[in-house]
Amino acid sequence: MPGIVIFFHFPMGDIRKFCVFKSRSLKNSMINLQFRDSMNKDFSILVSKSLAGEADEREKALLREMLHDSDNYTLYNSIKEYWDADVKVDKNLSEETQKRILKNMPTHPQRHGNRRNPVLWFYRAAAVILLLFASGIYYYHHTQSVHYYTYASQDNITEYVLQDGTKVKLNKNSSVTFTSDFGQKERRIDLKGEAFFEVSRDKSKLFTVSTQGTETQVLGTKFNVQSDEQQKQVTVALVEGSVRFKADKCDDLLCPQEEISYHTATNEYIKQIADLQMSTAWREGRYHYEDIAFGELLKKLEQIYEIRIEMNYPEIETRKITASFRTDQPIRDILSALEDELKFSYNEINNKKITIEKK
């Protein structure tokens, strides 16, 4: 399948590994994962050495044996996901906690021909050891302040499963945040960016997605929410089930294959039949924009690639095109596929800004 497919529309009818798992309190931030209270320290250290590629044959055999236990297998997968994430240890750790970490830290080995980053290795292993103290830390923050968890994606599309079984697939540069009491009385999350939800059904607890002052409420269904803060717009597309969309001057029910686009600045909204293939194409690793103005496409590219695009050739802003490209496609490939036909040139400045000029 080609990386980029472009169709030009002429007048008169002519033809994202980065995931983050963070925990924040109102007072400070602390790495925190909830595992079974009886987590085994030796098992965690053994997993750390295995993930770092530093386990010897005896330790590898021991780990394989321990993974026959279903609880150990679940714990291994959780630690692996955490290990692969961008891990940082709170800078405000007490001296006592730091000593406890160092006491339990396996010695960082020196390997010829495959020397690893000792600082990164230290922080990852320290983060795993911090899990040993997680229940105490969690209890302290839970009793002192509200506790927040954030799932985020940056360069890749990422999928998570919430405590209630709800599946959340995050588009690039998106995140969801929820509190430590999620699912106890209600199921509420805050969204930034775009996400597709497969909500586990629970008649007693609504599932609410909050973003830019709007709320999308469901019991159990599949739907997509796109929150574009730059354009001050929230768009909800329903795949199956039903959802209620609530905002200032708007309280409406959606049926399958319907979508609502709400402008948060004007409180105006449009409810219409959804093009679900287009709305959810990012889930399959491909963006598809049909009959879109070039200027609008540039705005989409700004959001997707988090880069500023300066248009100095307004004559082509309204030109209609259809563009289809992979989510991992470099932006320069997309612009290169367009520049000859639209007669423009572009310059990239420090990977932060692109200017569009007339050829």
pLDDT, average across residues 152-176 = 89
Instruction: Looking at the structure, tell me whether residues 257 and 329 fall in a common domain.
Output: no
Domain end residue (candidates: 141, 176, 194): 141
* Distance between CA atoms of residues 270 and 273, nearest Å: 10
Instruction: Looking at the structure, tell me whether residues 271 and 176 fall in a common domain.
Output: yes
Question: Percent of the chain scored above 70 by pLDDT?
Answer: 66
Instruction: Looking at the structure, tell me whether residues 135 and 34 fall in a common domain.
Output: yes
Contact 325, 5 (CB under 8 A): yes
**Residue 322: which domain range?**
4-15+285-358
pLDDT, average across residues 159-187 = 90
Tokens of 24: 């924040």
Give 57: exposed, middle or buried? Use CB within 10 Å, 0-12, 13-18, 19+. Answer: exposed
237: domain CATH number? 2.60.120.1440
pLDDT score at 4 = 64
Q: What is the mean pLDDT of the chain?
A: 75
Q: Dihedral of the CA atoms 41, 47, 52, 55 (nearest 10)?
A: 100
Tokens of 60: 């590898």
Instruction: Looking at the structure, tell me whether residues 215 and 309 fall in a common domain.
Output: no
Tell me the C-alpha to C-alpha distance, in Å, between residue 131 and each of 46, 78, 251.
Answer: 14, 11, 43
In a domain, 185, yes or no: yes
pLDDT, average across residues 193-206 = 93
Residue-wise pLDDT tens digits, 81-116: 555 554 444 444 445 544 544 454 444 444 444 444
Tokens of 152: 């985020």
Amino acid letter for position 76:
Y
Instruction: Looking at the structure, tell me whether residues 161 and 265 fall in a common domain.
Output: yes
Size of the chain in residues: 359
In a domain, 149, yes or no: no
In a domain, 21, yes or no: no
What does the DSSP 8-state code read for residue 245? E
Task: Band the pLDDT of 197: cuts 50, 70, 90.
Answer: very high
- Nearest by Cα to 147 from 192, 182, 175: 182
pLDDT score at 212 = 96
Domain end residue (candidates: 108, 141, 174): 141
Give 290: exposed, middle or buried? Use CB within 10 Å, 0-12, 13-18, 19+. Answer: middle
Instruction: Looking at the structure, tell me whether residues 292 and 188 fall in a common domain.
Output: no
Q: Could you tell me the sign of the dihedral formed by the alpha carbons of 153, 156, 157, 159, in that order? A: negative
CA 26 to chain centre: 22
Task: Band the pLDDT of 251: cuts 50, 70, 90.
Answer: very high
In a domain, 22, yes or no: no
Instruction: Looking at the structure, tell me whether residues 336 and 267 fall in a common domain.
Output: no
Instruction: Looking at the structure, tell me whether residues 39 and 127 fall in a common domain.
Output: yes
pLDDT score at 134 = 42
Instruction: Looking at the structure, tell me whether residues 274 and 290 fall in a common domain.
Output: no
Report residue 148: phi and psi, to 5°.
-120, 145
In the predicted model, is pLDDT for residue 288 greater than 90?
Answer: no
- Say which residues have a Cβ less than 8 Å from residue 172's Cβ, sequence separation at least 6: 16, 153, 154, 155, 156, 157, 193, 282, 304, 327
In the predicted model, is pLDDT for residue 21 greater than 50?
Answer: no
Predicted model pTM? 0.50
Domain end residue (candidates: 243, 278, 313): 278
Instruction: Looking at the structure, tell me whether residues 128 and 67 fall in a common domain.
Output: yes
Instruction: Looking at the structure, tell me whether residues 171 and 273 fall in a common domain.
Output: yes
Tokens of 207: 């599932």
* Distance between CA atoms of residues 303 and 337, nearest Å: 19
Contact 33, 39 (CB under 8 A): no
Task: Band the pLDDT of 80: cuts 50, 70, 90.
Answer: low
In a domain, 20, yes or no: no
**Looking at the 3D structure of the chain, how many domains does it have?**
3
Q: Could you tell me the sign of the dihedral formed by the alpha carbons of 212, 214, 216, 217, in that order? A: positive
In a domain, 51, yes or no: yes
Instruction: Looking at the structure, tell me whether residues 69 and 105 fall in a common domain.
Output: yes
Of 58-67, 70-79, 97-106, 163-172, the range with the lowest mean pLDDT is: 97-106
In the predicted model, is pLDDT for residue 67 greater than 60?
Answer: yes
In a domain, 220, yes or no: yes
Task: Band the pLDDT of 308: cuts 50, 70, 90.
Answer: very high
- Nearest by Cα to 242 from 260, 226, 264: 260
Report residue 104: phi and psi, to 5°.
-95, -5
In a domain, 147, yes or no: no
Residue-wise pLDDT tens digits, 214-224: 999 998 899 99
